[in-house]
Amino acid sequence: MRSQGMSQMRIGICVLLLVAGLLTAAGCAALSKKESVPARHPEELGTGWANCLECHEDENSGALKPYGSFVHTSVFLRQHGLYSSRDQNLCASCHRVDFCQTCHAADEELKPGIRQGNRPDLAMPHRGDYLVQHQIDGRVDPGSCVGCHGRRNNDKCAVCH
């Protein structure tokens, strides 16, 4: 059953690749002429919280939003998922994908707060002995956990739950 499912999945993925190729060919012709977000930020950036307005005043042509929307204030960080779910390519211009996967990983063992123990300025979750704190956060607002532990990286939950 499992191998049959796997071959069906492979066929499905091959079909998907074919459709993707055709869509790519057709899509490129219909694409907007606005300049895309560059794959890499052209200037090397510092290590602190990014302030796009230090250099940019205008609107980002790729994201079609003002650069001011992406200044990394604490407000932005709390809402960053609302931006990345539209403009992940803009995030990727400055952040490698493994930066996102520090928290949003399928499989990760080292807590972000421990990995970044030498960067207390970063807003990494789970500082301190979070195993204690999670009892409170989990009771009050379990929905706050699902962004990183809902479907993935949750095998440690089984130890107690």
**Under rule CB under 8 A, which residues in 78-107 are in contact with another protein?**
78-79, 81-86, 88-89, 91, 96-98, 100-101, 104-107
140 touching another protein, by CB under 8 A: yes
Q: How far is Cα 136 from Cα 157, in angstroms, rounded to an integer? A: 15
For residue 66, the surrounding DSSP H or E stretch is strand 65-66
Alpha-carbon dihedral sign for residues 63, 69, 72, 74: negative
> Could you say which of 56, 76, 125, 134 contacts another protein (CB under 8 A)?
76
110 touching another protein, by CB under 8 A: yes
Q: How far is Cα 43 from Cα 54, in angstroms, rounded to an integer? A: 12
Q: In the complex, what is the shortest distance from the CB of residue 37 to another protein, in angstroms, rounded to a whole number?
A: 6
44 touching another protein, by CB under 8 A: no
118 touching another protein, by CB under 8 A: yes
45 touching another protein, by CB under 8 A: no
Place of tokens 């440690």: 156
